[in-house]
Structure 1
Amino acid sequence: MPSLSDLKREGLLAPQQRPWPRIIVDEVLWSGAATSVAERRMTLLALWGEAGAVHMALLEQATAEVAVISLNCPSGRFPSVGAQHPPALRLERSLHDLFGLEPVGSPDSRPWLDHGQWGVTAPLGANTPSTPQPPYPFLPVDGAGLHQVAVGPVHAGIIEPGHFRFTASGETVVRLEQRLGYVHKGIEGLMSGASLQQGVKLAGRVSGDSTVAYSYAFSLAAEAALELAVPPRAVWLRALLAELERLANHLGDIGAICNDAAFALMLAHCGVLRENVLRAAAIAFGHRLMRDLIVPGGVRRDLGADGRKAIEAALVSIRQQLPALVELYDETASLQDRTVGTGVVSAELVAQYGAGGFVGRGSGRAFDARRQLCYPPYDQLRFEVPVLTEGDVNARVWVRIREVEQSMALIDQLLDNLPAGELLAPLPAIAADGEGIAVVEGFRGDILVWLRLAAGAIARCHLRDPSWFQWPLLEAAIEGNIVADFPLCNKSFNCSYSGPDL
């Protein structure tokens, strides 16, 4: 089956995409690439469409090289990747909903994003009036003593909407099936024709808890398309913002997971530490979540002396209190009874789905875009990527704990070595064409952004959330566990509802 070198040699190199190539292929090469992904020679990073074409971003395992392959399909049909590689199925269902492109041979043609409420079909494609949809066909239940438990989409709290349908035998979960798409926002449609300034704001609102990572990835992709160099100080400030976001989210997650195991004390203490980070961010950068600070060309706000002191004080409080909290977590038998051995995801499934973040690293997959793809300034920083192999809730907690420690060490290095200089490089005065792609490590895992510029405006932009490849693994993780452990498993994954719903 073809390698990336084979695809480059036999396909047609598209002009103007940077920093990684885009290769136009025929159906034979497209299907061959799908087979290579299914055989784990390559990892599927993303799959998306546009009118008359489909695209697939691939990571070659042996070389850590990234490329995009494209297949023109003027007939609106293309060979299904999901037929060989199940992780692609939801992606294909989504691009069919949005563009009307048909994955030929797909074993699952059900809608994903389209709940029959848009009034049109294929809004980014033919955009024709829709007809009433039949009820969503959940997978059938067959077996003696089985019953179903339906949860959501409205939940008892302020979390986002999602439907979870459990098939159980007594209290034991036999199967979980998810139905998402309730927070579809039309982001990719809004991106078309937008300016870069509008686009980066939209990117920062794909998933609110990852606003820094999304604006970071979007800006890197835009700068690649424009061949725009960013001032060194801005490069380092971006990493500082990203690590503060990672730190705050991990602290919140550790407490929330323990709370779902009825140990509210950890939630209270971790909540205080998270709040300290958010307050420091507000002092340093004017916004608790650091939204709209990263833009194409650099950053919009500098770090002053007061901000540095606030960040350093937050780190001191974490270093003083976290060890005792970790000890409390590790030595509370009732808590360990809930987290150890619960919600196990196998290393094989994680590798098949290319799952990143704490989900992947808790099950032995060591991928971290900061390390493997080595974008600046991480190529100049010292850090470790914590990896465990147990694959359970406890492993995902411990990966977060170790990443908190690593993020604090990275913040120390960033503050100590922050270069002087400008914050923002001006965008080209002449409207340009080009394509750019970027992958950034958010707190959940790797975020991918691909965009095409035409006369300086966004012609097409795709944003891929790490949760695309994590949500299906939650279905596998809960099998064999009791229904009451689902909130605990779900929180240990902490997938974004909003991110994949676009």
Structure 2
Amino acid sequence: MKELHSALETAGVSVRMQPPLPPAEVWSIPKDGWGQAAQIAKSRQWRWSAGWGEELGASFRINALLARTGQYLLLRTEVPKDAPTLPSQAPYYPAADRPERHTRDLLGIAFEGGDDRRWIRHQAWEESAFPLRAGFPLGGFPLPQTPPDADYPFAQAHGAGVYEIPVGPVHAGIIEPGHFRFQAVGETVLRLEERLGYVHKGIEKLAVGRPMAALARLAGRVSGDTTVGHAWAACLAMERALGMEAPARAAYLRAVCAERERIANHLWDMAAILNDIAFTFGYYQFGRLREEVLRTNRALFGHRLLMDAVVPGGVAVDLDAQGISRLRREIARLRRELDELLPIVDRNASVGDRLYGTGRLSVEDAADLGCVGYVGLASGQDLDVRRDCPYPPYDRLKVRVPVEEGCDVGARFWVRYKELRIALRLLETLLERLPDGPVRVALPVPEEGAEGLGIVEGWRGEIVAYVRFGAEGQIARFFPRDPSWLNWPALERLILDNIVPDFPVCNKSVNGSYSGVDL
């Protein structure tokens, strides 16, 4: 970090050290050096993790979270409301493109040198309306009918034999809306462009004025399949803003829930990947195992998806001896089933033919995009918050991280499997070491302006939550960054030179959350 500080100062970008937001150092820099700071950080292998804006009186504050080898650095700058322009960081960090467009659409900050096409707003608001500003009502100004987003300027197809295939936003299956615009020759994909954000939920606006418990419930609904991960990140941010920690037993139970969320989702993704290559036996078997995990969740924690299990100051549900015994039996049963199923998958020639070599995301592309979780791990990115920047109880555990360099759908399948087996071992350790004590403590009313940053390893990868408190302990600003912000762009690269019929399995191997990026 000293090296980066020195490089910025040498380049004429002055740095003002601010009070840290653990686990991040905080540096304030002038707005004119915003783009240059990104260029210098990228040249020193800092990864772009998250970006968001805030309204502060007569100015806007823009944040960019960078990471390297377990260290986090939060860069900040401010722009006046009457001239809200800033150099874009996207020319150096592709991952910054969509978050910058999101910030521009909702706050009205122009990022010079970046993509100026609408991202999250579509046609729901006038060009001069910015829904995240304080004066904009929560309900907005709804039109009788929103105009169709027919004029979005997708890149155009050119050349003899090149044609376009529009897919979505409404799909044949019961999934969330997203548009995929293919350009192809024959069956070979030359280009893919994504268009997401069709169901703007207003999460950031809904958070304003909420008490802590209500924010945790909202965070758990950013992406329903990651309710534990997002709620934990938000609660960790609030607790850090207060300078407090959840009780030790609560931390262990949070990890139990997080690892169960990881197991259930990896089982379902493995099932879906096999379904997309017509290996129906695998689809049913892995889907059956996931269903058993969800039923145990319902019995022991009150909800199949573990919703609202993580609360500010701890957890909502404890485990008794009978519940612990049931979890241990389930772990043993899952291991036996996997020992039988995986050889069947591994030895099936048709499965290997469809998975290996399909949807390759090079190590260089994964690093350039800042991919996290199984997408990054399968392409050589050795990243895991539980190990690299541990938080309780992972700071007392050894977390193995499976890194592959196969870079294809097969590698992403096997990383999920290895993470699943690692999660089962972690669960055993968590249950064995589960300490006695309370599972929840009351939290005091936070001071106005108190801030916190929560960073946890969700099942898709690194999750970031930022919280700032206003008056009377109410939330003034909440920003959740789902891993899908970093992983969705990978699909546009890994599909290139594949055939159109392989898009479903390539897409499923990434499995980005539509909801997670559609705040």
TM bin, normalised by shorter chain, reads: over 0.9
Are the counterparts in 2 of residues 284 and 308 from structure 1 also a CA contact under 8 Å?
A: no
Are the counterparts in 2 of residues 100 and 122 from structure 1 also a CA contact under 8 Å?
A: yes
Corresponding position: 1:60 with 2:68: yes
Q: 1:116 to 1:442 in 2, by over 3 A?
A: same
Are the counterparts in 1 of residues 212 and 475 from structure 2 also a CA contact under 8 Å?
A: yes
Are the counterparts in 2 of residues 16 and 434 from structure 1 also a CA contact under 8 Å?
A: no
Corresponding position: 1:82 with 2:90: yes
Counterpart selection for 1:13 from 14, 17, 31: 17
Q: Measure how far apart 1:336 and its partner are.
A: 0.9
Corresponding position: 1:495 with 2:512: yes
Letter in 2 for 1:387: V
Q: Measure how far apart 1:229 and its partner are.
A: 2.3
Counterpart selection for 2:269 from 250, 253, 263: 253
Q: What per-residue deviation string (whole Å, max 9, x for no partner) do you get for residues 46-82 of structure 1?
A: 0111221211011134xx3112111100121111111
| Aligned-partner Cα distance in 1 for 2:429–2:328 | 12
Are the counterparts in 1 of residues 34 and 88 from structure 2 also a CA contact under 8 Å?
A: no
Q: 1:452 to 1:14 in 2, by over 3 A?
A: farther
Unaligned runs of at least 5 residues, structure 2: none
Corresponding position: 1:49 with 2:53: yes
Counterpart selection for 2:349 from 327, 333, 348: 333
- Counterpart in the other structure of 1:111: 118
Indicate the percent of aligned positions where both proteins have the same amino acid: 45
| Aligned-partner Cα distance in 1 for 2:305–2:423 | 17
- Counterpart in the other structure of 1:409: 425
Matches within 5 A, 1:327-366: 327-366=343-382
Which of 125-134 and 145-154 deviates more? 125-134
Letter in 1 for 2:281: L
Q: Measure how far apart 1:309 and its partner are.
A: 2.5
Partner of 1:224, secondary structure, is helix
Letter in 1 for 2:199: V
Q: Measure how far apart 1:301 and its partner are.
A: 1.1
| Aligned-partner Cα distance in 1 for 2:325–2:298 | 12
Which of 317-326 and 341-350 deviates more? 317-326
Unaligned runs of at least 5 residues, structure 1: none
Q: What per-residue deviation string (whole Å, max 9, x for no partner) do you get for residues 75-107 of structure 1?
A: 21111111332221111111111101000122x
Letter in 2 for 1:151: V
| Aligned-partner Cα distance in 2 for 1:430–1:451 | 11
| Aligned-partner Cα distance in 2 for 1:377–1:85 | 32
Partner of 1:121, secondary structure, is coil
Corresponding position: 1:471 with 2:500: no
RMSD: 2.1
Partner of 2:24, secondary structure, is coil
Q: What per-residue deviation string (whole Å, max 9, x for no partner) do you get for residues 219-244 of structure 1?
A: 11100101112111001111111000
| Aligned-partner Cα distance in 2 for 1:349–1:83 | 15
Matches within 5 A, 1:306-325: 306-325=322-341
Q: Measure how far apart 1:429 and its partner are.
A: 4.5
Which of 381-390 and 431-440 deviates more? 431-440
Partner of 1:57, secondary structure, is strand
Matches within 5 A, 1:223-242: 223-242=239-258
Q: Measure how far apart 1:39 and its partner are.
A: 2.1
Are the counterparts in 2 of residues 273 and 314 from structure 1 also a CA contact under 8 Å?
A: no
| Aligned-partner Cα distance in 1 for 2:287–2:410 | 19
> Following TM superposition, where does structure 1 have runs of at least 4 consecutive aligned residues deviating by more than 3 angstroms?
1-10, 13-19, 126-134, 429-433
Q: TM-score, normalised by structure 1?
A: 0.95
Letter in 2 for 1:91: P
Are the counterparts in 2 of residues 383 and 409 from structure 1 also a CA contact under 8 Å?
A: no
| Aligned-partner Cα distance in 2 for 1:154–1:28 | 42
Letter in 2 for 1:275: E
Counterpart selection for 2:479 from 462, 471, 477: 462
Are the counterparts in 2 of residues 471 and 495 from structure 1 also a CA contact under 8 Å?
A: yes
| Aligned-partner Cα distance in 1 for 2:93–2:22 | 27
Corresponding position: 1:73 with 2:79: yes
- Counterpart in the other structure of 2:105: 97
Are the counterparts in 1 of residues 204 and 477 from structure 2 also a CA contact under 8 Å?
A: yes
Matches within 5 A, 1:434-453: 434-453=450-469
Are the counterparts in 1 of residues 23 and 72 from structure 2 also a CA contact under 8 Å?
A: no
Q: Measure how far apart 1:462 and its partner are.
A: 0.9
| Aligned-partner Cα distance in 1 for 2:306–2:252 | 15
Q: Measure how far apart 1:157 and its partner are.
A: 1.1
Q: 1:348 to 1:337 in 2, by over 3 A?
A: same
Are the counterparts in 2 of residues 356 and 365 from structure 1 also a CA contact under 8 Å?
A: yes
Q: What per-residue deviation string (whole Å, max 9, x for no partner) do you get for residues 151-192 of structure 1?
A: 111111111110011101001111111100012200001111
Q: 1:465 to 1:3 in 2, by over 3 A?
A: farther
Partner of 2:155, secondary structure, is coil
Matches within 5 A, 1:243-282: 243-282=259-298
Matches within 5 A, 1:123-162: 123-125=131-133, 127=136, 135-162=151-178
- Counterpart in the other structure of 2:130: 122
Are the counterparts in 2 of residues 284 and 306 from structure 1 also a CA contact under 8 Å?
A: no
| Aligned-partner Cα distance in 1 for 2:446–2:224 | 33
Partner of 1:446, secondary structure, is strand
Q: TM-score, normalised by structure 2?
A: 0.92
